[in-house]
Amino acid sequence: MGAQDGFLKHKRELPKSTNPKERVRNYKEFSGDFSDEGKKDQASRCMDCGIPFCHSGCPLGNNIPDFNDAVYHNDWLKAFEILSDTNNFPEFTGRICPAPCEASCVLGIDNSPVTIEYIEKSIAEKAYELNYIKPKTDIRRTGKRIAIVGSGPAGLAAADQLNKAGHQITVFERDDHVGGLLRYGIPDFKLEKSVIERRVKVMIEEGVVFRTNAHVGKDISIEDLKMNYDAQLLCCGSTVPRNLKIEGRHLKGIHFAMDFLKQQNKRVADIDVERREITSKGKKVIVIGGGDTGSDCIGTSHRQGAESVTQIELMPKPPSDRNDVNPWPEWPMVMRTSSSQEEGGKRDWALMTKAFIDDGQGNVAGINVVEIEWNADMRGFSEVENTERIIPCDVVYLAMGFIHPEPGIIDQLTLDKEENGVVSSSGYATSVEGIYVAGDMRRGQSLVVWAISEGREAAREVDEYLMGVSYLPSKEKSFYNV
């Protein structure tokens, strides 16, 4: 490495973000930036460890020490080449990935880990600035046609890879814009949609065809796909939300988180909201679920002008630091505060919702909750006596995750499924020849970085199926990891 003592000279730092009171006034991204010198200092903290656990911590297998070294030496082209060899969309992951690589950083044993996610985003933005990311128009075509269903991160990654291999790619998206979860599941203050459009524009100029408002199985028949394409790759996600089937669930004002977030993303993009408006403006909001989607509901509610926001979680409050049963390099099960939670609101743990309260006119007016105590093995819990109470509210967002893919296209294609509803596969091949699956539709609800990894690996299998051999890189064998 260029600076063997960088981790001794420099502390972990991230650029200052816009003050929470200011940033809740709009839906713009609010993260700051360092000068190139500041980025160099942070990259220099990569300590040239003997075994870079960050490689295995990253689902994409990014070659992190190598691109850190390139940034330290101000060689942005090399840094971009190393990063793009394993990651099609570092501008996405550099903004919204929870950074399992940083949790695996060796420096994190007794220090603060390297700012890998920020450096990744910096490389991507520098690559656009210096025109390193531009359409490749000299692709040699194979004559093979592939249909990809779903334009989320898995579908986009697969399309990018298979297009590079020379196949003609058509991506079918049932929504009105490309992006899937990236487009309508993640608020603009975390990922402005111009970032997606910038990348999609490059892909279109490289020959990828995107068909929006094209719902396969409804607008587009399954037979058409089978007749007109040499292979099909399903990347439809895991979009059936976990419900809370308790007394009062039918009341007005109780919504799935994704319905709420999608509406607001459409408003920001100046797209008409067709269904009944879902809003937090002037309301007492309760968010049930403590994950990223719940945090997105909090941040969106702040920006809409909620009167109050309360987030509740079934699990107990995590410890502030690792304990003996959660050692490095495991993912640290510790207390975290998201940017949305920094902006305000109340958080509560180990609470179970028993019923929704009716205001007498069919609207939700509160939730009946009780404190719970988890067993030592965390496999069950019991109610704590005399802790039942009602929390008043005007609107409730259910942000408890997703359980499985929508069954429509799976059943129409008569694909085998696992007990949990995801598509069965051998590798990425389904039970029907020529049809492949990737992303959350195959592995269940997961991270964007895993979806990109799945799309890349599935692309290699599809390429090999069509051509007999594939020269696309895989996680195990990339150009910089031979």
Domain boundaries for CATH 3.50.50.60 within the chain: 145-239+403-481, 243-400
Which residues touch 326 (CB under 8 Å, ≥6 apart)?
Answer: 332, 333, 334
Q: How many CA atoms lie within 13 A of 346 on its CB side?
A: 9
How large is the average pLDDT for residues 352-378? Answer: 96
32-86 pLDDT per residue, tens: 999 999 999 999 999 878 899 998 899 999 999 999 999 999 999 999 999 999 9
Query: Start-end ranges of CATH 1.10.1060.10 in the chain?
Result: 6-129
Angle at 356 between CA 355 and CA 358, to 5 degrees: 130
What is the per-residue pLDDT across 396-417, written as a single tens digit (0 to 9) for each?
999 999 999 999 999 999 999 9
Q: Do 126 and 35 form a contact (C-beta atoms < 8 A)?
A: no
Residue 480 reports pLDDT greater than 70: no
pLDDT at 263 exceeding the cut of 80: yes
How is residue 36 annotated by DSSP? H
Give me the CATH topology for the region 243-400.
Answer: FAD/NAD(P)-binding domain (3.50.50)
pLDDT at 482 over 60: no
pLDDT at residue 441 tops 50: yes
- Residue 254, pLDDT > 50, answer yes
Task: Count the helices and strands in the chain (H runs, E runs).
Answer: 19, 16
- Residue-wise pLDDT for 216-251, tens only, equals 999 999 999 999 999 999 999 999 999 999 999 999
pLDDT 10s digits, 330-341? 899 999 999 999
Q: Specify the DSSP element, H or E, that contains 286.
A: strand 284-288
Position 215 confidence tier, pLDDT thresholds 50, 70, 90: very high
Q: What is the pTM of this model?
A: 0.95
Q: Which CATH architecture has domain 6-129?
A: Orthogonal Bundle (1.10)
Token pair 């409730």 is found at: 396
Under the banding of pLDDT at 50, 70 and 90, the label for residue 317 is: very high
CATH architecture of 145-239+403-481: 3-Layer(bba) Sandwich (3.50)
Q: How many Å is the Cα radius of gyration of the chain?
A: 23
What local confidence, expressed as pLDDT, does residue 477 receive?
Answer: 54
pLDDT of residue 323: 87
